[in-house]
Amino acid sequence: MFHEIPLSRPHTPLLDQVPTPDKLRELPEDALPALASELREYLLWSTSQTGGHFGAGLGVVELTIALHYVYNTPSDRLVWDVGHQAYPHKILTGRKDAMLSIRHKDGLAAFPRREESEYDTFGVGHSSTSISAALGMARGAQLTGNNRKVVAVIGDGAMTAGMAFEALNDAAHQGTDMLVILNDNQMSISKAVGGLSNYFSRIWASKSYIAMREGGKRVLQSMPTAMNFARRSEESLKTLVTDSPGALFESIGFNYVGPIDGHNLEELVETIGNLREAKGPQLLHVFTTKGKGFAPAEADPIGYHAITKIAPVSERVAQVVVAPTAAPKKKYSDVFGDWLCDAAAKDLRLIAITPAMCEGSGMVRFAAEYPERYHDVAIAEQHAVTFAAGLACEGLKPVVAIYSTFLQRGYDQLIHDVTLQNLDVTFGIDRAGLVGEDGPTHAGAYDLAFMRCLPNLIIAAPSDENECRQLLETCWQHPGPAAVRYPRGTGPGSVIERQTQVLPIGRGVIRRQGERVAILNFGARLQDALSAAEQLSEQGVVNATVVDMRWVKPLDAALIRELAASHELLVTIEEHAIAGGAGSAVSEFLHQEGLRNAMLLLGIRDAYIEHGSPAEMLADCGLDAAGIAAAIRTRLR
């Protein structure tokens, strides 16, 4: 058990001998526990240098070793769900020395990625996709005559999503040879009940039991009554001795084994080795401890889910505490959380909903103060949206707190269950725009494009923290579907007015008056737009007007007409894909009005922007002050 971060790179002689899984498989089995200890210490050290997802990886060290030890990867396919737990996998698959580059520009990605390694069989970032992908791979192997094996590893949280159960149902229907490992970190699903459970789990995973089970099926195929009796008896026995969800998986059509200790390498290797040769869909339930091996992470698995850089203990002791010279800036998620509590105190109709993003969405305080009005529906974005629609049908005023990248998963429900019925649901859309080190899987680059085409929906894009608070109030007071999109992290540090007000819907504000060029800003890049305008003025290029548009839908039609009449060039700025975004909306409006102003649309180009720091990603897209000024200079030339 580690209590502190290693001061320097740990000594890992055994780990250094296994740069790839083929070398791992050459080790004697009794060397694996020592390898696990070295791998855990190296992971602890490397992640402390870079930051990143932490607890989940520590929890699957033994499972990762066992899987690569038993299966012939990369020929055999190993599919991780979400990818938070894939750091040990990266270390064991040829990327150990590159771990210090993870989440940095041009470095390793934070999640499995097909372009990065042949061992990353499927790119992930969103949850609950592993079983579907693995089933496709297993079926593909069958159709092409390949005898490779396929394994999907899915967490208990990801198993709450409907997509996971859709895949389980289809896998059972097809009878495909594959193994699903349910990695239960004891934060959601049932707990083990002791020695009897472990004893029977080892029996059910044994080669003799599997052979007897399959032989019995063949014998009883011609006797349906006896077959059904045997199946029900087996399911009842498993439920009785394990107190687990085994009966559920058995009823779907999987052979359920478990739960077993996910940190016992001998038991893992034996059980997985037996299941590797089993026919049909198999599900192995393993218990792991999130943050295993690092005492602070075991004690606070939520807090240590992901970390920033951790200074070694010697540096932490030496640090001098200096009184801050200014109040820290508020995160947009905290602005949302504070507004949510204040609005709930005034109106009993407010109900808050999140699909498993309580901490990230700033809802911890609300959950504590208004538990009866707080609903975490787990990783079920589709359900979250339609659940809100149902609440609205009963005269309540629900607020759905959801990341932009996850709202994509509830798009059908947004259309049919909310906007088509014109129901009073407010969406607080967090992580809109570029999200930094998590990269393109988590970028909120497409929400304007898929939302602004929907009738009845109004969309606000605040430029700072105070405007975010006021626009949240405005959209919530609006008697219909409404969305407020705001970025990850902090804003410019604007003073937040405690008193909320309802702002005019579809009205922008001129922040800097100039001529010739009008910069129409949508969202959080307003300060960069103002800085770019000052640069251009100081350089004698142009004295540009800067407008805080506030609303993507409805657009401020009167203001755009006024700007078009008095300026030669209209420049739109948004932290969103250019295709279909706010700039496109302005272009469409000008065309409909018969106005022929020159246009320059600045935003995210038609590409997935690779991970890096937020500043690096904005510069890459030309959305910082320097990039905006350069684009306008070039266009004017």
> What are the catalytic residues?
290, 381, 409
In angstroms, the CA 188 to CA 190 distance is 7
The residue type of 78 is L
C-alpha span between 162 and 145 (Å, rounded): 31
Measure the CA–CA gap between 111 and 87, rounded to whole angstroms: 8
Which element (helix H / strand E) includes 370? Answer: none
Cβ partners under 8 Å of residue 137, min gap 6: 77, 79, 121, 122, 150
Rounded-to-integer distance, Cα 307 and Cα 42, Å: 16
**Pairing of β 567-577 and β 598-604:** parallel
The residues near 226 (Cβ < 8 Å, ≥ 6 apart) are: 220
What strand order describes the sheet that includes 397-403? 374-376, 350-354, 397-403, 426-430, 482-485, 458-460, 551-553
Q: What is the DSSP letter of 77?
A: E
Answer yes or no: are the C-beta atoms of 419 and 456 closer than 8 Å. Answer: yes
Q: What is the dihedral of CA 487, 351, 356, 239, to 10 degrees?
A: -170
Q: Are 179 and 138 in contact (CB under 8 A)?
A: no
